[in-house]
Amino acid sequence: MKLRKVTAASAAVLALAVAATACGSSDDDKDSGSSSGGGKKVTIGIKFDQPGLGQKTPQGYSGFDVDVATYVAKKLGYSENQIEWKESKSADRETMLQRGDVDFIAATYSITPEREQKVDFAGPYLLAHQDVLIRSDDNSIKSPSDLNSKKLCSVTGSTSAQNVKDKLAPKAQLQQYPTYSACLTGVQNGAIDALTTDDSILAGYASQSQYKGKFKLGGFKMTNENYGIGVKKGSDLKAKINTALEAMVSDGSWQKAVDKNFGPANYKNEPAPKIGDVKS
């Protein structure tokens, strides 16, 4: 009889201990930003197919956007192994933020008035420009007007090549390929004279080991592309990310990321933009 009482009492204490532990675990799981683990994650949207910016490789994820996002996540309190990377294609970015599929997006995401109606932006963290990529031995294209009668390539559905043809070089022979890589191969073998899109994207491709020394940027700065980090409308993450971006510039990490990802293409980057300074 006495044994049964002790056993029952012990069972009651054990049950209370388990309940307390479970309650504590639940509270911990709700916390965010701890770098000590505990299963907490931050989900970040990036491009998976843009060398130098956001690329998924067998070794992991690499690129300038990845470096920026990783730095920001660390300042928010997350270690690298707490980051979940999610592919954010251009057409899906606003929807992913609105649905809460990601916490924030760093994916060559230009800040525009139309997009600001749907999402908020921290930054900008990079000022890019539309430019052209040509063979390093091609000295015939020194200005946008020299693209007249040249074969100009961009990806199918892109506005970049059409922008040049409509405004700067109306006689350019516009070629549309399914991928930037296909355009680049065309430039390399002479089937295409120039590839056009953001200079940061062009520098990323040209920086790949198999292309080093084979291409150069025109340096034309045909448009301003203010890359921002997208967050859900009204999110308090915007202010926190802005603080992180300012720290990245001030401690030199921003310039190191630029040099590492774009340096091999001799990319003449703009200075780090001031937070909220969106160039039209």
Q: Which CATH architecture has domain 130-217?
A: 3-Layer(aba) Sandwich (3.40)
**Considering Cα of 199, then 203, then 204, then 210, what sign does the dihedral take?**
positive
In order, the DSSP letters of 90-121 are: GGGHHHHHHHTS-SEE-SS-B--HHHHTTEEE
Alpha helices in the chain (DSSP H): 2-30, 64-75, 93-99, 113-116, 160-163, 180-189, 199-206, 237-250, 253-262
pLDDT classification of 158: cutoffs 50, 70, 90: confident
123 close to 230: Cβ distance less than 8 angstroms: no
pLDDT above 50: residue 42: yes
pLDDT above 90: residue 115: yes
CATH number of this structure's domain 42-128+226-265: 3.40.190.10
169 close to 152: Cβ distance less than 8 angstroms: yes
Residues 6+ apart with CB under 8 A from 5: none
Question: pLDDT tens, 224-266?
Answer: 999 999 999 999 999 999 999 999 999 999 999 999 998 877 7
Question: pLDDT tens, 190-210?
Answer: 999 999 999 999 999 988 888
d(CA 152, CA 251): 40
Q: Do domains 42-128+226-265 and 130-217 have the same CATH topology?
A: yes
Kindly state the average pLDDT of the residues 8-24: 41
Q: Where in the chain are the domains?
A: 42-128+226-265, 130-217
Residue 86 forms beta bridges with which residues?
Answer: 45
Question: pLDDT tens, 168-194?
Answer: 899 999 999 988 889 999 999 999 999
pLDDT above 80: residue 34: no
**Considering Cα of 252, then 255, then 257, then 263, what sign does the dihedral take?**
negative
d(CA 54, CA 63): 5
Can you say whether residue 138 is alpha, beta or left, with left for phi > 0 and alpha for psi between -120 and 50 degrees? Answer: beta
What pLDDT sits at residue 194?
Answer: 97
Cβ neighbours, 10 Å, residue 75: 17
Q: What is the mean pLDDT of the chain?
A: 87
What pLDDT sits at residue 179?
Answer: 86
What pLDDT sits at residue 10?
Answer: 45
pLDDT above 50: residue 157: yes
Helix/strand/coil (H/E/C) assignment for every residue in 186-205? HHHHCCCCEEEEEHHHHHHH
d(CA 265, CA 73): 28
Kindly state the average pLDDT of the residues 83-103: 96
pLDDT classification of 39: cutoffs 50, 70, 90: low
69 close to 77: Cβ distance less than 8 angstroms: no
- In the chain, the amino acid numbered 156 is T
